[in-house]
Amino acid sequence: MDRTKAAGYITVDGKRVYQDRDRPNGITGTSLIAADRTAVQEEIMTVIEGAGLTGDAGDFTQLFKAINKILSGSEEGYFLKSGDTAAWVTSDGWLVAGNSRGMSGGSGANGAVQAGDYVWSDGITAYGYGKMAVSLSVADVNGKGGDYRVGALLQFTAFDGTQENFYFRGDGYIYDQNGNKFLKAADLDGVVANTNPGITGAISGTSLCVNPDDGRAYFAYSGNTKVAVLAWNADVQAETQARVNAVISEANAREAADTNLQNQIKNCALKSELPLPEGMHCQVFSAPIPSPCPEAGWLVDIPSGWKTHSFVTACDTGANVYAVSAVVENNTQARLWAKYPTNGAWAQGGEVTVTSFGYPS
């Protein structure tokens, strides 16, 4: 199609256009020629027929229908606004999309719907960024009214093309594409309640509840004869920290007690409760074994020394077992030997307990 080239055209903004005839002012006007009228006619008819419609001299909406049909991609799909009428619409609506109640998805010849077929109607679709889209249509499973897919179909496509279907059924529930049912608040009546056996008005059975006295959550079970408090995250953290602190405190106490005992053994002259000679005392202390124990033995210092060192004994301590010999070296030292009693080899480290007897200065 092109702009008119008929005699008498004028140019406005670089475009060839028509002008009216004005004989008193000497303007003849633009001629109406067949080429121009035919061009307009054929341009419009090309759209109408290209959409699969047949020209109808009595229908002045065919161009509108054809455009809607092409945009919707549906052979019979077009929109009706409030006030428009069509044989297949039972009541006026603000916006109607689709065809003569036809459904797609039939498995029979030429798309005929068979028993058990999952079918859907034309819908309204809105598009967003990327592949994002949402559409609303009607879905059905022929002959199976109880199927969760019978109802309004809301289909959502995410940016990456991932698609989710949600079905709104006549039973008042929403189902996902796997048939999972979304519960309503009323479905939880009798299961979750703000009551428990310790509160007036408690319900029977098993329930979650909140005690208004302390505002804490409880779980009632066994016919509401037993109640267990539900721990909050803060409770769990506090209890965990308390247990950790208790373990640390006990470990510290044990370490302190062990250190105190070792200090007493090494540094304290103990008065013997044994029937020792008058004025004799003993000192008990721990001595480390060199690794390995030398054949000549090794010297250990008596913590406080003696005026007169009478005698000394030694034995093993701890998990290892040693055969230990001890003799007085002088008033401030004793000599020790340690072997493994199982094979007679010299001990390779460890500790022994030494008991020294003498008279203090």
| pLDDT tens digits, one per residue of 129-183 | 778 889 888 888 888 878 889 989 999 999 888 999 999 988 888 999 888 988 7
Closest listed residue to residue 346, CA positions, set 301, 299, 290: 290
What stretch of H or E contains 70?
A: helix 62-72
Q: Calculate Rg over the CA atoms of the chain.
A: 52
* pLDDT for the residue numbered 349: 83
Contact call for residues 338 and 324 (beta carbons, < 8 A): yes
Q: Give the percent of the chain with pLDDT over 90.
A: 29
Least confident range of 7-11, 208-212, 272-276: 272-276
Highest mean pLDDT (candidates 13-22, 130-139, 265-274, 317-326) = 13-22
How many CA atoms are closer than 13 Å to the CA of 343, on its beta-carbon side?
4
Give residue-wise pLDDT tens across range 204-241.
455 666 666 766 766 666 655 666 666 667 777 888 89
The residue among 196 and 343 whose pLDDT is bigger is 343
> How far apart (Å, rounded) are the C-alpha atoms in residues 348 and 354?
18
* pLDDT for the residue numbered 129: 78
> How far apart (Å, rounded) are the C-alpha atoms in residues 36 and 5?
8
Cα dihedral 197, 201, 203, 209, rounded to 10, equals -60
> How far apart (Å, rounded) are the C-alpha atoms in residues 74 and 146?
29
* Predicted confidence band of residue 78 (pLDDT cuts 50, 70, 90): very low
- pLDDT over 60 (residue 97): no
- pLDDT over 70 (residue 48): yes
What stretch of H or E contains 69?
A: helix 62-72
* pLDDT for the residue numbered 15: 94
Instruction: Report the pLDDT averaged over residues 287-307.
Output: 91
The residue among 92 and 307 whose pLDDT is bigger is 307
* Predicted confidence band of residue 10 (pLDDT cuts 50, 70, 90): very high
* pLDDT for the residue numbered 41: 93
* pLDDT for the residue numbered 65: 85
Least confident range of 119-123, 168-172, 279-283, 319-323: 319-323
* Predicted confidence band of residue 308 (pLDDT cuts 50, 70, 90): very high
Q: What is the mean pLDDT of the chain?
A: 79
* pLDDT for the residue numbered 103: 79
- pLDDT over 80 (residue 268): no
Hey, is 157 helix, strand or coil? strand
* Predicted confidence band of residue 186 (pLDDT cuts 50, 70, 90): low
The residue among 263 and 196 whose pLDDT is bigger is 263
- pLDDT over 70 (residue 33): yes
Instruction: Report the pLDDT averaged over residues 107-116.
Output: 85
- pLDDT over 80 (residue 318): no
Count of other CB atoms within 10 angstroms of residue 192: 12
Closest listed residue to residue 92, CA positions, set 82, 77, 107, 78: 82
